[in-house]
Amino acid sequence: MKEIPEYEKDLASIRTIMERSVKFISLSGISGVLAGIYAILGAVAAYFIVHYPISLLNQRVYSINDFETLSQLTLIAIVVLIASLVTGFWFSSRKAKKYNEKLWNATSKKLFINLSIPLITGGLFILILLYTGHFGVAAPASLVFYGLALIQGSANMFDEIRYLGISEIILGLVSALVPGYGLIFWVIGFGILHIVYGTIMHNKYDR
């Protein structure tokens, strides 16, 4: 028979173990903020390619269909994506080291699979949209699928990610209603929301 304080310790110890066995705690808030900044820089570059010298607030009625512009935009998107992934990976492995954990553990594997399914589905779906000439709904679709992926993965991440996912989905749906403003919604969804949530997570978990 143990003493009562020992039982209290039992309860406390399983609480942290349960949390750590489910949540991928190495995810870094700073990398979210940086990903948001990359997205805004990418959007600025895209703006100068597509809209310039028209104002951002004027609705763009024609769609992009010349090969050169499309390939430039694709290049920007790929650079932003790779920069975000590399940053996320670097900061998370640093945080994992700090907590004496492995970056690639049972939880992050589960998270990776859960995120991959909606992200790859969304990526292929958007490629099909672009291929069939539905340029207007490509940006909304990316926001919606990204939001669904976040909600799918949120079980293995911090609780805030779920709200980020819901925000992205709402933004994507609104964006689909007002075609032609895709770039602005992109800046809000991938830029501003990442910076806001990244800051919240950094202040709450990384201190």
Using CB under 8 A as the binding rule, the residues of this chain from 79 to 108 that contact another protein are: 101-102, 105-106
- The alpha carbon of residue 92 and the mean position of all alpha carbons in its chain are separated, in whole angstroms, by 14
- Closer by beta carbon to another protein, 98 or else 134: 98
Least Cβ distance, residue 155 to another protein (angstroms): 10
Length of the chain measured in residues: 207
6-28 exposure pattern, b = at least 16 Cβ within 10 A, e = fewer: eeeeeeeeeeeeeeeeebbbbbb
Using CB under 8 A as the binding rule, the residues of this chain from 18 to 57 that contact another protein are: 18, 20-22
- The closest alpha carbon to 148, from 115, 183, 112, belongs to 115
Least Cβ distance, residue 4 to another protein (angstroms): 5
113 binds another protein (CB under 8 A): no
- Closer by beta carbon to another protein, 2 or else 207: 2
For 136, which DSSP code?
G
Structure tokens at 148: 């669904």
Rounded Cα distance, 73 and 62, in Å: 16
Rounded Cα distance, 195 and 72, in Å: 25
Least Cβ distance, residue 106 to another protein (angstroms): 4
Q: Are 47 and 183 in contact (CB under 8 A)?
A: yes
Least Cβ distance, residue 112 to another protein (angstroms): 14
Give the residue carrying structure tokens 């992050």.
108
- Closer by beta carbon to another protein, 54 or else 106: 106
Least Cβ distance, residue 107 to another protein (angstroms): 8
- Closer by beta carbon to another protein, 9 or else 134: 9
- Closer by beta carbon to another protein, 21 or else 203: 21
Which residues contribute to the site for another protein (CB under 8 A)?
Answer: 1-2, 4, 7-11, 13-14, 17-18, 20-22, 101-102, 105-106
